[in-house]
Chain A
């Protein structure tokens, strides 16, 4: 009887371990490489990977949109490449930054919905700014 239970426990443990391993191997990666003029394929940015489970946790976390919107605002209005893409005025950039900071503070305080609203206000200013 004892052996039977041990066997069941072993099978259960093996299944859980196998699933975890499979999920760990099913990775979501993001990297960047490009061709050079002399025909070399060169890695520009190292790949960053997360498991599929980690990706799902990232998508389903309560602070997901808070984090996503902040990153999006940074990409589009603070990062040099993003800033260059839009016909921003200094006034607009200041307003966007202020709304982002307000949104971040609310998100950090666990007020996710309120934080998201502030961040959406910032994103709306970006969206309504003409692309170059």
Chain B
């Protein structure tokens, strides 16, 4: 009871603070929401679930997916443009970001581990590429947009209303300089670290950026990962990784706290080069460099920087990838498996989605990979966990984007082509 009172009191003071900070105009709704006021917004869009489309997905896509023995895949929810996901703590709601303007919430109402309702989350907020939701153990939802980070305290409890309390942690235009905004490479992802800070990956808005861009990018964390305090007040923003081209998936090892992330690599070098990457952070700080733009993936030098000497400041802090994945597979969302449903060998293994290529003669990706770690916490072996989203004729039936663990220990896979979320379970039979 004491905790609830202190939480409500702190929200009250926050509302006073934000009342004084926000101007009217574009921020009007956010100012109202952060002050516990109604905006008058109507209820958001609802996505019908029991449709011909859902039946087609089951018949034409799900039936084609291959899994190891004992595993089963089923439709969890129809979610248009489904990208990265965050799973709630108590209500089994899943928030699903998009690269457009909406965030969806998929909720299992009858407790069969399949979503019964998919509704637009917080329709009173004007989202801009809200790709990356993440959820904290203490019940706070964060959404990383193209150029803003929003906090939704107690989202599980306010979510049934179109007006959900929403407070910017990083205001619109302050995540990156607005002149560096782009549509491509701006699908942000976020995660809460063992240090209780919020980590956000920020792709750089080029295929390969010119050298003139790097003083700014390294300072701001574009083409890198940043962290900051996840409650209002002193932001204490820091760059914790640089030299990344476009990471759209990261997670902390549940045992040792190591940060791992995927990185999409350079286009235009060849059908089978350069490799994609799964990286383990060699440390958290602006000095650790992951190779871009001098390396285009793995140890392949980019054409753009091939003749140039790698600056000593980078070279001495170079952290090599742990896994080189096939070129142009587009490794995106990732997670560590901590559940008890899957066989023991999957405990603490990394699952990650390969979205699939757009520029290779031989289509590839469109699958879920798993990487097992050795006792030292390094990548030991990678293999295909789920595939079949691409036909023999090279047509995508679906394109997996993210993998997240659901409350029962199953895993959810989002697919932004089919516009659905799948659930993979293990029964062993």
The answer on a CB contact under 8 Å between A29 and B271 is no
Most buried by A among B51, B184, B272: B184
A41 at interface, CB cutoff 8 A:
yes
B359 at interface, CB cutoff 8 A:
yes
0 or 1 for each of B395-418: is its CB under 8 Å from A? (1 = yes): 111000000000000000000011
The answer on a CB contact under 8 Å between B303 and A120 is yes
A89 at interface, CB cutoff 8 A:
no
The answer on a CB contact under 8 Å between B393 and A47 is yes
B65: which A residues are within 8 A, CB to CB? Answer: none
Cα–Cα, bound, A75→B205 (Å): 18
Cα–Cα, bound, A50→B302 (Å): 29
A95 at interface, CB cutoff 8 A:
no
Least CB separation from B60: chain A residue: A41
| Least Cβ–Cβ distance between B245 and chain A, in angstroms | 11
Most buried by B among A28, A34, A49, A75: A28
Cα–Cα, bound, A107→B210 (Å): 27
B2 at interface, CB cutoff 8 A:
no
- CB within 8 Å for A35 and B394 given contacts A126-B207, A128-B209, A132-B182: no
Cα–Cα, bound, A64→B184 (Å): 28
Instruction: Tell which of B56, B208, B394, B396 touches A39, judged by Cβ atoms closer than 8 Å.
Output: B56
Q: How large is the interface on A (under 10, 10 to 19, 20 to 34, 35 or more residues)?
A: 35 or more
The answer on a CB contact under 8 Å between B185 and A131 is yes
B345: which A residues are within 8 A, CB to CB? Answer: none
A30: which B residues are within 8 A, CB to CB? Answer: 361-363, 394
B52: which A residues are within 8 A, CB to CB? Answer: 38-39
B26 at interface, CB cutoff 8 A:
no
Least CB separation from B266: chain A residue: A127
A38: which B residues are within 8 A, CB to CB? Answer: 52
B417: which A residues are within 8 A, CB to CB? Answer: 34-35
How many residues of chain B are within 8 Å of chain A by beta carbon? 38
Interface residues in A62-83 by Cβ distance below 8 A to B read 64-65, 68-69, 72, 75-76
The answer on a CB contact under 8 Å between A131 and B361 is no
The answer on a CB contact under 8 Å between B418 and A28 is no
A124 at interface, CB cutoff 8 A:
yes
Interface residues in A20-72 by Cβ distance below 8 A to B read 27-35, 38-41, 43, 47, 49-50, 55, 58-59, 64-65, 68-69, 72
- CB within 8 Å for A132 and B208 given contacts A72-B267, A120-B303: no
B392 at interface, CB cutoff 8 A:
yes
- CB within 8 Å for A29 and B270 given contacts A39-B52, A131-B185: no
The answer on a CB contact under 8 Å between A128 and B361 is no
| Least Cβ–Cβ distance between A116 and chain B, in angstroms | 9
Cα–Cα, bound, A82→B419 (Å): 24
Cα–Cα, bound, A69→B273 (Å): 13
Instruction: Tell which of B266, B392, B397 touches A29, judged by Cβ atoms closer than 8 Å.
Output: B392
Interface residues in B291-310 by Cβ distance below 8 A to A read 302-304
- Residues on B lying within 8 angstroms of A by beta carbon are 51-53, 56, 60, 182-185, 205-210, 266-268, 270-272, 302-304, 359, 361-363, 391-397, 417-419
- Residues on A lying within 8 angstroms of B by beta carbon are 27-35, 38-41, 43, 47, 49-50, 55, 58-59, 64-65, 68-69, 72, 75-76, 85, 120, 123-124, 126-132
CB-CB nearest 10 A-B residue pairs = A29-B394, A47-B393, A39-B53, A131-B184, A127-B208, A128-B210, A30-B394, A127-B207, A31-B395, A72-B268
